[in-house]
Amino acid sequence: MPKIPSSMLAALLSATLLLASAGCKKDEPQFADAAAAAEKKLEEKKALGENAPKEIEGKKLNAFFPEELEGGKRTFTTEKPGYVEAKYAKDGKDVCVLTIADIVDNADSKDKYAKSTEKIGEFPVATFGKKQTMVLVKDRYQAKIISDTLTHEQRKAILEKIDLKKIATL
């Protein structure tokens, strides 16, 4: 068996140790930024105490959903504090999903509207991908429509059917 020179063996051993130690480096947890942001929001809310804004009850948002949209019948699918969701289906096929959310504690959601040039009345409109259109009401409530088949203009027209000014009075 041929003898390996000690300098080559030392270089090989050093390279192996470097590779092994690189794999042992502790990375930041995947969601560290999100966790830090949530912690900051919680601290801010605690600091406000009784003056902190409260999320609206989901059932108070139900009244803003039209019974029918684009011929589709409404079925409420989710109701929880600050959030309501309804699905509209026609002839057994989904037309769209409509949500209304109280985003009082979600600055990230509000940021989507910062550069918006499109409006429904006085309220800014934003899109997410090719299937979602949303409107921000009173810098607090977000009405969103998701559809695989409707265009942006059709989704926007549906959002216009919601009494956004009445939502602003909540």
pLDDT exceeds 80 at position 114: yes
Full set of structural domains in the chain with CATH: 6-51 (no CATH), 58-167 (3.40.1000)
Strand order in the sheet with 141-146: 68-69, 72-80, 83-90, 93-102, 141-146, 132-137, 123-128, 119-120
Could you read off the pLDDT of 52-65 as tens digits, one per residue?
Answer: 667 888 889 999 99
The model scores a pTM over 0.85: no
